Structure 1
Amino acid sequence: MRYALLYTLFLMSVFHPCCGQNQTTVPQDNISKGLYSESQLKEEAAFQVPMSMVRHVKQARNGDILIASYLGVYRYDGKSFTNLTSKISSPRISSFWDVLEDRKGNLWFASKDSGVYYYNGRSFQHFTTKDGLASNMVLHLYEDKAGNIWFGSSRYDGRSFRNFTTKDGFPSNSIRLLLEDKTGKLWFCAQGENMFVYDGKTFTVLKNKDGKTFKNVWSIIEDKKGSIWFSDVDGLWRYDGSTFTKVSQRVAYTIIEDKKGNLWTTGSMDPLGGPGWALSRYDANSLYSKKPAVTEIKSQSAMLLGILEDAKGNIWFGAGGGVYRYDGKTITDFKNKENQQ
């Protein structure tokens, strides 16, 4: 009965990705380390272009691009950028990680240490632990099919927060993300813990053929064929419903599938997590072969993070120094449009 109730509650929570609370080993931001100089803060404020680290890029229903930058959340309308958060947070204390437009057109902004902000186009509302949020560290946002907004282990129904813990029968208090696959199974992961799945009755910790569990899963998707793709500390994996197949030793921070069926990832080029990050494309025609064809679109020493395919087929990606757009031929660096790559 306990599990059945829990499944009913979570079945509505189709969110990807959703990050757990109280994380301690996520890549660190530059704000807390004081690495953004006074000149950099003034430059970003003056030019209204995201120049700090961009964790996530989303698309609004009207086609605008929404960009979660550490120093502010921006909207790009195809011509210029607007800092949506300039009136609610000083650049010296900002640390935004994610942005979400809900089905009603309202915007949500997630911060690393200040909870979440809600914007209805006219005014802002700030939610923290004082309002019932499980943690002020909110790294990902998701709206489920019922219209609830999820912040890690917190679910907001428009009136109040419901925080899920081990007391509810849940295996962890630190949910990082969840995926509901086409069969109705729920996939969970938590910081430093095992990935597990819930079938409506039982929680099962997943293991590969060698009996090893999957830890620190950063990203998980279900492709058009119904296969589950995810990355843990050992690399990129595919699950076809019965077998786990290791596709690459490279760890993926973000995974998306584009309209053509290609897989895109960002992550370290070093299987051991050393320096050097890449935006890579796995060719759709070879995804299920023993060695999929991979093309490195961009590589650099700084981190490459969230990915978005927009309505026109352009690939947007966040990085340690702003946001980029790839149109299939040219990479646009919005910090300096004259410096195309």
Structure 2
Amino acid sequence: MKYRFIILSLCLMLFFLRSYSQNIKFEHYNENGGLSHNSVRHIVQDKHGFLWLGTFSGLNRFDGYEFKSFLSSSEGNNKINNNDITALELDEVSNHLWIGTRKGLTLLELDTYKFTTFLTEKGNPNSLQDEEIRSIYVDKYKRVWVGTKDQGVFLFHFEENRFEKIELTGFNYVKEIFEDSSGNTWVGSYGTASVAKINLDVSGNIKQVTSYKLNIPNSLEVNPYLNFIYEDAKRDIFIGTRKGLYKLNKKLNEFENLYIENNGIRDALGPYFLTVAQAPDGKYWVGTLGGLLVCDQLEDISKGDFKRYYSVLTDQTSLVDNLVSALYFDASGILWIGTEDGLDKYDPFENQFNLNKDISRFIGNQAPRVRGFARTYNDKVMVATRHNGLFISDGDHFIPLYNNQKDIASIYSIDGRIFYCGLWNGKLLAYNYITNKSREIDIGFEKSPVSAFENLGENKLMVGSFGEGAVILDTKSRDGKSSKMALL
């Protein structure tokens, strides 16, 4: 019986503590632990659970404990061609990892760990025409889209070992390629062009191309450097750039800058929106020049409605660096964060608790002696303290509810309206939440505090103590002295 009470109290404690913002902690990995370079720009996870990290100097495989680096300087011929990893794309069906570098497109077959690099072949029009890769995407037709630095977009037909140039006027430097839920392919650039939406027919052939221009608030400049194209759960399209975050207005068919009007917030974040990922709980995590943002909807950022996590030099558990280049939630829900100063890990299951000091404010800033929790009929949480009475949740805070100087040892309720508070003198305090009145019931205990409860049904409540057994209370009796009790 007492164990059920303890379990209930712990569950309510979790609810109580998790109702408030968490002071989350990050675990750091860097070159000292085997990472080939601290600048982590790309993260994917294969079907075996390995994380693959693209850095400024080398490809890394991470099993959660150790790093294995793949470098151009590795022994033998089976190796990556260039260490500067500019893109990573995993084809889960074929178990292929496509790797973009400054010197060629590389395929790593994860079943055999065989590397194949595709370079420009003089006199071969079907070869890759630009060796500096900036983006890769495998579409639903299992075709590999390749964005380059100077020559635009290519489609790689793997079975034919043939690259096909996709003609998009102005799209020379292609930073991002993305496929939305409707099957449209989006291509992102900057300067001479910005964003193109490619509509495909049922066979995957290009049917229509729509180009968009990105205007910059308070500037004559257009088409800023693009970092990502993203579709949220509402199927809205967002673009992260070096000049802020943009959203497609579907009615006007144009992108609008979600400008942050608050100067302080805008300055703290910086203009760069670098990466985005949705957590299993539905919230969005956004990497910026000024750290990590967490919000319910991406539109909320312009209003300042978000939580921000950033690097603090005096806090070793804070984010290691504010420039967040990559975000990835793995299969277990852990967030991996690529920064310019190493890889960070955030495990939400290790950050469940946070200290709440609301009650202390009402008792002279002393630590309350909390004796239990109970839920009210209107879904609030009641907190029982030993010397300071009852407190109740009010939104994100706790406020005094009923302070009668009784020495409370436990609390229990059947219906969320009447609350039974076990007292240290062996008696019961029956508190009516609706009327804010109480009465004290003598149930026969003389030396031991009331510590546990069990609902027996039919208006019967078993009440126990650690030293004097248990009694059965008729909860419908209005006279505490005449309540039907049986000493067990």
Whether TM exceeds 0.5 here: the answer is: yes
- Is residue 244–residue 257 contact of structure 2 (8 Å, CA) maintained in 1? no
Q: How does 1:150-229 map to 2 (within 5 A)?
A: 150-152=186-188, 153-157=195-199, 158-165=206-213, 173-174=223-224, 175-191=226-242, 193-198=243-248, 200=250, 203=256, 205-207=258-260, 212-213=265-266, 214=269, 215-229=271-285
**Paired residue for 2:174?**
138
Aligned-partner Cα distance in 2 for 1:228–1:67: 26
Does 1:234 find its partner at 2:290?
A: yes
- Is residue 107–residue 120 contact of structure 1 (8 Å, CA) maintained in 2? yes
Does 1:112 find its partner at 2:135?
A: no
- Is residue 241–residue 272 contact of structure 2 (8 Å, CA) maintained in 1? yes
Compare CA radii of gyration and give the structure with the larger one.
2
Structure 2 counterpart of 1:266, from 310, 330, 338: 338
**Paired residue for 1:253?**
325
Aligned-partner Cα distance in 2 for 1:197–1:179: 10
Please tell me the root mean square deviation across aligned C-alpha atoms, in Å: 3.5
Over 3 Å counting, the alpha-carbon distance change for 1:156 and 1:199 in structure 2 is closer
Over 3 Å counting, the alpha-carbon distance change for 1:288 and 1:99 in structure 2 is farther
**Paired residue for 1:278?**
342
Aligned-partner Cα distance in 1 for 2:170–2:351: 39
- Is residue 195–residue 205 contact of structure 1 (8 Å, CA) maintained in 2? yes
CA displacement, residues 183-207 of structure 1 (integer Å, 9 cap, x when unaligned): 344433222x122445656946254
Partner AA of 1:151 in structure 2: V
Q: How does 1:58-77 map to 2 (within 5 A)?
A: 58-60=89-91, 61-77=93-109
Identity of aligned residues (%): 16
Aligned-partner Cα distance in 2 for 1:89–1:117: 8
Partner AA of 2:348 in structure 1: A
- Is residue 54–residue 97 contact of structure 1 (8 Å, CA) maintained in 2? no
- State the secondary structure of the residue aligned to 1:104: coil
Does 1:57 find its partner at 2:74?
A: no
Partner AA of 1:225 in structure 2: D
**Paired residue for 1:81?**
115
Q: Which structure: greater strand fraction? A: 2
CA displacement, residues 10-40 of structure 1 (integer Å, 9 cap, x when unaligned): xxxxxxx9xxxxxxxxxxx99xxxxxxxxx9
TM-score of the two chains, using structure 2 as the length reference: 0.43
Aligned-partner Cα distance in 1 for 2:172–2:353: 43
- Is residue 292–residue 310 contact of structure 2 (8 Å, CA) maintained in 1? yes
TM-score of the two chains, using structure 1 as the length reference: 0.60
- Is residue 238–residue 244 contact of structure 1 (8 Å, CA) maintained in 2? yes
Partner AA of 2:230 in structure 1: L
Over 3 Å counting, the alpha-carbon distance change for 1:233 and 1:56 in structure 2 is same
Over 3 Å counting, the alpha-carbon distance change for 1:99 and 1:196 in structure 2 is closer
Deviates more, 1:200-209 or 1:182-191: 200-209
- State the secondary structure of the residue aligned to 2:176: coil
- State the secondary structure of the residue aligned to 1:226: coil
- Is residue 133–residue 161 contact of structure 1 (8 Å, CA) maintained in 2? no
Aligned-partner Cα distance in 1 for 2:76–2:208: 35
- What is the total number of aligned residue pairs between the two structures? 238
Aligned-partner Cα distance in 1 for 2:286–2:106: 28
Measured after TM superposition, the shift of residue 118 of structure 1 is 0.9
Measured after TM superposition, the shift of residue 151 of structure 1 is 1.2
Over 3 Å counting, the alpha-carbon distance change for 1:229 and 1:147 in structure 2 is same
Partner AA of 1:49 in structure 2: I
Aligned-partner Cα distance in 1 for 2:307–2:325: 18
Consecutive unaligned residues of structure 2, counting only runs of 5 or more, are 1-41, 43-55, 58-70, 122-126, 189-194, 200-205, 216-220, 312-321, 356-488
Consecutive unaligned residues of structure 1, counting only runs of 5 or more, are 1-16, 18-28, 31-39, 269-276, 292-341
Measured after TM superposition, the shift of residue 259 of structure 1 is 1.0
Task: Select the structure with the greater relative contact order (CA < 8 A; seq sep ≥ 6).
Answer: 1
Aligned-partner Cα distance in 1 for 2:170–2:222: 13
- State the secondary structure of the residue aligned to 2:265: coil
Aligned-partner Cα distance in 1 for 2:101–2:75: 11
Partner AA of 1:255 in structure 2: L
- State the secondary structure of the residue aligned to 2:223: coil
